[in-house]
Amino acid sequence: MVQLCKFFLQGRCSKGAACAFTHDQDKASKNLDTRLAIPCTFYLRGACSKGNACPFEHADQVQNDVSDQGDTLPAQRENDVEISRRTIGGALIQFKDGASVSKVSLIAELSAVRLEGLNPQATVASIAALIHEFGFKVEEDAIQISKLYKSTSISAFINGEAPGFARLFCDKIRKSNSDRTTSLTATSIPPRLPPSSVSRRINCRKVIVSWYRPSRLVWMNFGVESIAKRVSEKFNGGRYKILGTKVTAVPKGSQKRYTIGGRNPNPVNWTVVIKGVPCTACEEDIVTAVTDSYDSPRHIELDKTPVGPESRVAPIIVESLLTSIGPLDFMTEPQLRDSKYKAIAQFADDRNAREAVDKLNGQTQQDLAGGKLFLQLRTSSKVKTLTRIYDAMQEQLRPCVRAWKAQRLTFNAYNEAKKQTTSIAIEGDDAKEVAKAVSSLEDVLRGRTIQDGDRALWIEALSSHSVTSNVLSSLCKRDDVVILRNKCKKQLTFFGPAEAFPDVEESLRKGLEEMKVNSKPGLAISLEKEQFAWACRGGFSRLNEMLGLGIASFDVASNPKRVLVSGTQGQYRRAKEFISCGGQDDSSAASDQEDQLCAICWTEAEDPVYTDCKHTYCLDCFENLCISAHAGGSEFNVICQGAVGKCQAALKLRDLHEHLKSSAFEDVLGASFASYVARRPQELRYCPTPDCGFIYRTTEVPTLQNCLKCLEPVCTACHGQHGAISCAEYAEISSGGYEAFEKFKKEMNIKDCPRCKTPMEKTYGCNHMTCLGCRAHICWVCMAVFDSGDPVYEHMNLKHNGIGL
């Protein structure tokens, strides 16, 4: 027996007809588990071990401090496709673990097809196989299935990356004589693209869909005007409800009618028309609703034809109407509000969302029994920050929230389960107002840098966990604020009430100044390679326990690495002896210590981040590691520095997404893309138009290609913008300035990188050069190119009898 789909019961199944579980409506209505609407308390504590098998709802908790509820969704966990794909520089970029680029597809090369008339039993795999039969390879995640209401077939949206895919595929379907394809119709449509890095913060793909609930009319007859009006007021005021539903009542009087042979008026001459009565209500339910006996009607009549489809069928009809325009990421289960059902649907493409609103909003739908469907486009944005920062900035956010409410924007904060972060969502109808609100939110959450005159307040002791940690902690507890230290930028940032800032700044300045005056010059102990590894595995922490907090500090910037002891000569000798015999310490204790230390600064992790490879980082160190991944000469790759740099595992892309701020994550992806393009000048180039930023593929044969952004024609062979003239003619025209520049470079010993042509000048050092453009490693003598540094030195010693020093 096929199991009923749990996600279908919740209105969240995105697989449609391809789902392995049944979507039987009759079974759904009989087997609906009421526990689906109850939040799982174990999940909110991060302790639920049942996963998708859990019968309770797994949704992140909404914080109810300055948040307000509107037509918003609980925090949606983005899937791997949404996290790993971006549109940057006119190309669709696929990222992999380590934030490295795995694939680049130019938008100009992408196309899409809507394939209709497919067998109702068709699956994503069978559709991919069908496409393969026609000579095209399409990944299964590029296919999305849609089934229209009352349709005997299904349709599919297919994204293709092969040049000319849509045109060629549609042509082959039209010309095919196979019995399997005679019912198929293929239509070229715009390709579905993920959001760009620039617009990533703003989501314009969501619509609020509403329709009137299925209802029927009821007529209640009374003989007295006052009773009819009193009953109407009670229904309209909510005192009388039918099956728990508030309805609308309208009293209507009729003209007086007289009985035959007499002057007595007809006693049944006042009618109360009740609208919005649940279609399942019967006459007994109406009688039961009138709880006061003196309000009982003389007669009740029910409309025999309920208005609108049944509640369990309507969502299927609505979803079908939406998917006829474009594929959906999801559609929530409709909720009854007043007399309407409301649901939130998110399209895969913002163009489809706008088209749906234009075509369907306010339009009568025959499948909805002639009722109207209402659509409202919603713009939303989500910003992520540390929960303790959000808590500290509550007071500063309150006036912002009031201003946002005046602009009809909703604001919600979600404390994500099992994490130290809070996601803040802002939604509204006006995209510009949402963008302004996000900018003001980020300004508040940026905090204030603590200054010492015209520069950031900082002393070197802040670079390690020592007595300075106690100073910061005591100030934070005393004033209920947050002070974050950025050891890379060497600055302290304040988060809290504005009125507390002057006092905190002054107290911190005095405390650090006093510490600086009282501190003694450190005596250095140089570390051998084995001693450094021992110190990183927890030896330094045990040294601090022996000497006392704040006596020893770790200098990891020097070469060789050193331990600085600012205590007495006796403490210095004890430290030196302790380090000398460090290898004899209990290794299991060292391992326990190592688990708690940051893999970058080797101190106790502050706001710890735990990676999939079981290593720990300070949040600040983790961000700096990700942002600086392009500093090396190799491909952009964020690799773990755990186990004293021996781990070298590419950090999971989901780890980066979950722990980095939204803007920092997009910056990392943008830097990875820029590094990828810079290292491949023979394959990809940027458009030469200033500030354009779009890329194009290079060719050996001169071809003029119009840039999709600036529309300027670019030669894909010589990379010049020379219009109709040839590359040779263009070179001859511009040769005067070119020759002068070449003469200048020769006089100044400036050489072009053999790979990307970036000019380089060598002023000192050995003959190993690294191009700042494409990060290639180059021998300055013969300009040979290598992918890493070690082969350069082997080459120079072998071919040039030395490295040039």
Summarised one tens digit per residue, pLDDT across range 346-380 is 888 888 899 999 999 988 887 777 778 999 999 88
> The domain that contains 417 carries what CATH number?
3.30.1370.10
Both 341 and 373 in one domain: the answer is yes
Looking at 236-250, 255-269, 476-490, 780-794, which range is the least confident one?
255-269
Looking at the DSSP bridge assignments, the partners of residue 74 are none
- Residues 311/313/319/322 CA torsion (nearest 10 deg): -90
Q: Is residue 350 within 8 Å of 199, Cβ to Cβ? A: no
Q: Which position has the higher pLDDT, 148 or 413?
A: 413
pLDDT of residue 328: 85
Nearest in space to 162 (alpha carbons), one of 91, 106, 109, 112: 109
Helix (H) or strand (E) holding 357: helix 350-360
Whether the per-residue pLDDT at 316 is higher than 90: the answer is no
265: helix, strand or coil? strand
Split at pLDDT 50, 70, 90, the class of 274 is very high
Both 710 and 764 in one domain: the answer is no
User: How far is residue 611's CA from residue 477's CA, in Å, rounded to a whole number?
Assistant: 29
Per the listing, tokens 């001693």 go with 531
On the CB side of 160, CA atoms within 13 Å amount to 24
Tell me the pLDDT tens digit for each residue of 649-676. 999 998 898 888 877 888 889 889 988 9
Both 344 and 437 in one domain: the answer is yes
Kindly state whether residue 199 falls inside one of the protein's structural domains.
no
Q: What share of the chain is helix, strand, coil (3-state, %, to 5)?
A: 35, 25, 40
Both 434 and 497 in one domain: the answer is no
- Tell me the torsion sign for CA atoms 639, 642, 646, 649: negative
Kindly state whether residue 272 falls inside one of the protein's structural domains.
yes
Looking at the DSSP bridge assignments, the partners of residue 449 are 493
> What is the DSSP secondary-structure string of 137-173?
---GGGEEEEE-TT-SSEEEEEEE-STTHHHHHHHHH
Cα angle, residue 799 at apex, residues 795 and 805 outer, rounded to 5°? 80
pLDDT of residue 374: 93
- Choosing from 468, 485, 518, the residue where a domain stops is 518
pLDDT of residue 29: 43
Say how many C-beta atoms besides its own lie within 10 A of residue 430's C-beta: 13
Kindly state whether residue 200 falls inside one of the protein's structural domains.
no
Backbone dihedral region of 398: left (phi > 0), alpha (psi from -120 to 50 degrees) or beta?
alpha
How high is the mean pLDDT of the chain? 79
**Alpha-helix residue ranges (DSSP H) falling in 519-612:** 529-534, 540-547, 569-580, 587-596
Whether the per-residue pLDDT at 72 is higher than 60: the answer is no
- Which of 23-27, 329-333, 660-664 ranks highest by mean pLDDT? 329-333
Kindly state whether residue 552 falls inside one of the protein's structural domains.
no
- Which of 33-47, 475-489, 648-662, 734-748 ranks highest by mean pLDDT? 648-662
Both 354 and 442 in one domain: the answer is yes
Both 315 and 441 in one domain: the answer is yes
Per the listing, tokens 């209709």 go with 116
- Choosing from 518, 536, 557, the residue where a domain stops is 518
pLDDT of residue 479: 77
Both 730 and 767 in one domain: the answer is no
Contacts of 67 (CB under 8 A, 6+ apart): 411, 412, 413
pLDDT of residue 96: 92
On the CB side of 251, CA atoms within 13 Å amount to 20
Q: How far apart are the first and last CA of the chain?
A: 79
Split at pLDDT 50, 70, 90, the class of 737 is low
- Choosing from 413, 446, 479, the residue where a domain stops is 446
Both 292 and 225 in one domain: the answer is yes
pLDDT of residue 588: 46
Q: Is residue 404 within 8 Å of 381, Cβ to Cβ? A: no
Q: Which position has the higher pLDDT, 537 or 769?
A: 769
Kindly state whether residue 426 falls inside one of the protein's structural domains.
yes
Kindly state whether residue 104 falls inside one of the protein's structural domains.
no
pLDDT of residue 85: 86
Tell me the pLDDT tens digit for each residue of 769-787. 988 888 889 999 999 999 8
Kindly state whether residue 356 falls inside one of the protein's structural domains.
yes
* Mean pLDDT of all residues in 514-525: 68
Both 276 and 351 in one domain: the answer is no
Q: What percent of the chain has pLDDT over 90?
A: 14
- Which of 46-60, 510-524, 747-761 ranks highest by mean pLDDT? 747-761
Q: Is residue 412 within 8 Å of 380, Cβ to Cβ? A: no
pLDDT of residue 312: 72
> The domain that contains 282 carries what CATH number?
3.30.70
Q: Is residue 801 within 8 Å of 788, Cβ to Cβ? A: no
pLDDT of residue 454: 83
Q: Which position has the higher pLDDT, 279 or 466?
A: 279
Both 246 and 282 in one domain: the answer is yes
Per the listing, tokens 């009688």 go with 287
User: How far is residue 774's CA from residue 677's CA, in Å, rounded to a whole number?
Assistant: 8
Split at pLDDT 50, 70, 90, the class of 8 is low
Domain span holding position 712: 680-735
Split at pLDDT 50, 70, 90, the class of 589 is very low
Nearest in space to 459 (alpha carbons), one of 553, 345, 525: 553
Kindly state whether residue 616 falls inside one of the protein's structural domains.
no
Q: What percent of the chain has pLDDT over 70?
A: 78
* Mean pLDDT of all residues in 308-325: 80
Whether the per-residue pLDDT at 98 is higher than 80: the answer is yes
* Mean pLDDT of all residues in 313-334: 86
Residue 340 burial (CB < 10 Å; 0-12/13-18/19+)?
middle
Whether the per-residue pLDDT at 277 is higher than 80: the answer is yes
Both 378 and 282 in one domain: the answer is no
Per the listing, tokens 């650090």 go with 512
On the CB side of 697, CA atoms within 13 Å amount to 11
Number of domains in the chain: 5
Split at pLDDT 50, 70, 90, the class of 719 is confident
Say how many C-beta atoms besides its own lie within 10 A of residue 781's C-beta: 14
Both 495 and 468 in one domain: the answer is yes
Q: In Å, how far are 152, 239, 250, 391 from 422, measured between CA atoms?
A: 46, 41, 48, 9
Phi, psi of 249 (to 5 degrees): -120, 135
- Report the b/e string of 468-503 with b at 16+ CB within 10 A: bbebbeebbeebebbbbbbbbeebbbbbbeeebbee
Whether the per-residue pLDDT at 139 is higher than 70: the answer is yes
What are the E-state strand segments in 660-780? 684-686, 695-697, 704-706, 713-715, 750-752, 759-761, 768-770, 777-779
Q: Is residue 208 within 8 Å of 318, Cβ to Cβ? A: no
Q: Is residue 712 within 8 Å of 706, Cβ to Cβ? A: yes
- Six token digits for residue 186: 């293929």
pLDDT of residue 358: 92
